[in-house]
Structure 1
Amino acid sequence: MDKETPAASAAQPLTTDTVFGAPCWVSLMARDLGAAQDFYGHVLGWTFRKGRLGDEFSVALSDGVPVAGIGALARTLRMAVAWTPYFAVGDADATAARIRERSGTVAVGPLALAGGRGVLAADRDGAVFGIWEGQLYSGWDVWHKDAPAWLRLRTRNAFDAAIFYGEVLEWASERPGCCEVDYEDDEVVLRSGGHVVARLSSGAVEAAVDPTIRPHWQVYFPVPDVEHGARAAVGHGGAEVSRETTPYGPEVTLRDPDGGLFTLTSDVPRR
């Protein structure tokens, strides 16, 4: 996560203490920042600006609005290239403790960074996610409502996963403003402020060789033309992994040149 982006306005800073439990950012751990910028610039039309953490971090912009972070961290941390969602929390230390208490793993943090504190963790089935305590950038309401990215957890058992994340992130709690959890068509649906922000689906296999089948958080990017985006990805060194036809249009899962998985979906409201 580029911790520079959650920078709220000085007048009314929006923080994770009042907006909690919901996805608040997505970030790519890349090996080569320039190569990742070139690829996603061609596929998604993003432009980039430098992040506050140095030359190895950047903020992706869509029509001037921050939508994601890219950091050249995979080589340094010896981790696979992957898109990672971050969830807003009021207290990173307390949330990290809840992750450990429920048999999850805290891999990095809490780390003090510009504007707040971050943690990189994994749930008990191995799906990697992050948490963020602190300021949210001034355009977060737009990010939250207009869905520059939405999420699906591919997990072994969606119900069990919902219990884990619900306890860790205080979903469906009595706190005002918490995320709402519903069960629809064998999936767990997460809503924040009335907006669908994530879905949890069963069926992942922990021991699977194919990373698309193992438990993981899948990041979806809505685009006006899925086929055009898929051709651009393949033309710039990516690979098509799978495709699906949904009632809302096609979805194509792709692998960037370094192996990072993401899905292009039709430019429609989140279902």
Structure 2
Amino acid sequence: MKHDSRIPGGTTDVVSTHSVFGAPCWVSLTSRDLKTTEDFYTAVLGWRWQTAKLGEKFRVALAGGTPVAGIAGVATMWQMAVAWTPYFAVQSADDAVARVQERGGTAAVGPISFPPGRAALLADRDGATFGIWEGELISHWEKWRRAQPVFIRLHTRDAFDAAIFYGEIFDWASSRPGCCEVRYEGGEVVLRSQGYVVARIVSGALESAPDPTIRPHWQVHFTVSDVSACARAAEQHGGSVLSKGGEEVVLRDPDGAQFTVTARRER
């Protein structure tokens, strides 16, 4: 067992991104006010908190003692958007960044070193932001998924075009052993890793829409046992409910970051 609480970080079994390459392996939030953010997500998702070694502006969220997400209270200081960002496991951060740029995407930050690994913040050619992580994972990948089940959905202009873009970067549906599986199901492109649904891609977002929630973006979904209780807690702690759809509710935290809570079920 190795101990490291940097972002990505926490108490972690030493498992590298080589074991789940191409799959989402972490999510992080940039916020303006750490205390407000901590109080909100504790109330809505039941998280506890661990200080990160990167500094006083950083926290690691814990679910049942397992690190599940990173919080960086640097949105104002670094002039960054308040938003949730998914990170994908890669075997080489340099190769992944090069592939993104070769295919019309952009590199906003990195790759930079965050021992025990390297990270970069990128955008696809339609403007959706995502990150990559090379190195040791926060915790064993399946342990992370059990502690706070999460999947991500890309709202984009053209799902098939996006699937090709990301597939070429992350070796989805390739001949490599252990790669992610990609299928078209129920009007969406569905990504599976080790049997789990870890991402979905859906068409319809508009690049020029004035509303950022309609423009291409990755939406983070947290799986919970009681969607209605999460929605009530969000409203009681300075957040808002943006939309309700049966087993899914889209929420906004007090800083403006958008995410979805989804009813726990077999996927």
- TM-score for both structures, normalised by structure 1: 0.93
The answer to whether 1:105 aligns with 2:106 is: yes
Residues 11-160 of structure 1 aligned to structure 2 (within 5 Å)? 13-144=14-145, 148-160=149-161
Partner of 2:232: 231
* Mapped contact 1:25–1:68 kept (Cα < 8 A): yes
**Equivalent residue for 2:188?**
187
CA RMSD in angstroms comes to 1.6
Unaligned regions of 5+ residues in structure 1, if any?
Answer: none
Distance 1:174 1:183 in 2: 19
Q: Give the conservation status (yes or no) of the 8 Å contact 2:8–2:70.
A: no
Q: 1:252 to 1:4 in 2, by over 3 A?
A: closer
Q: CA deviation at 1:114?
A: 2.2
Q: Alignment length, in residue pairs?
A: 263
Contact between 1:104 and 1:123, CA under 8 Å: does it hold in 2? yes
Q: In the alignment, which residue of structure 2 is the partner of 1:243?
A: 244
> Identity of aligned pairs, percent?
58
Residues 138-181 of structure 1 deviation map (CA, whole Å, 9 limit, x = unaligned): 33222235652111111111000000000011111111111010
* Equivalent position to 1:256, from 248, 253, 256: 253
* Length-normalised TM-score, structure 2: 0.94
Q: Partner amino acid for 2:108?
A: A
SS in 1 for 2:250: strand
Q: Which aligned runs of 4 or more in structure 1 are off by greater than 6 angstroms?
A: none
Note the residue ranges of structure 2 that are not aligned, 5 or more in a row: none
More deviation, 228-237/145-154: 145-154
* 8 Å CA contact retained: 2:31, 2:82: yes
Distance 1:2 1:218 in 2: 24
CA distance in 2, matches of 1:119, 1:173: 23
What are the superposed Cα offsets for residues 161-217 of structure 1, whole Å, 9 maximum, x if unpaired? 000000011111111111010011221000001111010001011111222211100
Write the letter of the residue equivalent to 1:151. Answer: I
Aligned to 1:202: 203
CA separation in 2, counterparts of 1:83 and 1:110? Answer: 19
Alpha-carbon distance between aligned partners in 2 of 1:170 and 1:148, rounded to the nearest angstrom: 23
For the residue of structure 2 that corresponds to 1:58, the secondary structure is strand
Listed as ranges, the matches of 1:209-228 within 5 Å are 209-228=210-229
Partner Cα distance (1:191, 1:209) in 2: 32
Q: Distance in 1 between matches of 2:89 and 2:8?
A: 15
Per-residue deviation, residues 210-256 of structure 1 (Å, max 9, x unmatched): 222111000111111111110110111111111112xxxx2110111
Change (3 A) 1:65 1:7: closer
SS across alignment from 1:18:
helix
